[in-house]
Chain A
Amino acid sequence: GAGVSQSPRYKVAKRGQDVALRCDPISGHVSLFWYQQALGQGPEFLTYFQNEAQLDKSGLPSDRFFAERPEGSVSTLKIQRTQQEDSAVYLCASSFRTGRDGYTFGSGTRLTVV
């Protein structure tokens, strides 16, 4: 596609509900990153994929967060048993190589946990 596509744009979840956020990167981009952006803050790194391999998940805040990219293209970020502190914008970004040239970001998914 022409850009990084994320869905849904907005998600409201009741506390305790599971959610799945989708990222469709630019075709051919090897690197895929997930970031979490809380209100008034800059994006914070969650996890990194190189093709289908998840090489770094050090930023995932708890074991309720899980990400996958099974075929090296589309990625899904899953949050189990959502909590209010999970409310944030979740950004996906992709890069042709390692991100040295900068990323292309998606529009993000705004998750609100009520």
Chain B
Amino acid sequence: AQRVTQPEKLLSVFKGAPVELKCNYSYSGSPELFWYVQYSRQRLQLLLRHISRESIKGFTADLNKGETSFHLKKPFAQEEDSAMYYCARSAGGYNKLIFGAGTRLAVHP
């Protein structure tokens, strides 16, 4: 079965500390990988996708096909980064998404 695993339900760090949110996916073909973010009282929104190789709000994510991982990283966390983060992979020709359970990032002052 196609799965996305986010092993941490909660990641708590202090402002300025490095952040790494882990994501592993089940291998099946060549999926596209995404990170979505949901800030408090806001809708789920796309943060970044692996094919664009962008850095959004200081976050980057590298696809490691050997380890089937797509971890999200930021060198210096900010309080405004506090949110729920969901890793997702595509499935099917029309790119339905399979989501992980999410990791709540809490950045403390």
Contacts and interface: CB of A to CB of B under 8 A. Distances in A.
Interface of A: 3, 31, 33, 35, 40-45, 48, 50, 55-56, 91, 95, 98-108
Interface residues of B, number: 23
A105 B44 contact: yes
Nearest to B48: A102
A94 to B, nearest CB: 12
B99 A107 contact: no
Contact of A42 (B49, B93, B95, B99): B99
B109 interface: no
A56 B96 CA distance: 9
A42 B102 contact: yes
Contact of A106 (B43, B92, B102): B43
Interface of B: 4, 6, 32, 34, 43-46, 49, 86, 88, 90, 92-102
B88 to A, nearest CB: 8
Nearest to A41: B101
Given A33-B97, A42-B102, A105-B43, 15 more contacts: A42-B6, A42-B88, A42-B100, A42-B101, A43-B44, A48-B92, A55-B94, A56-B94, A98-B93, A98-B94, A100-B90, A100-B95, A102-B46, A103-B46, A103-B97
Contacts of A40: 101
6 contacts: A41-B101, A42-B86, A43-B44, A44-B99, A50-B94, A99-B95
B28 to A, nearest CB: 15
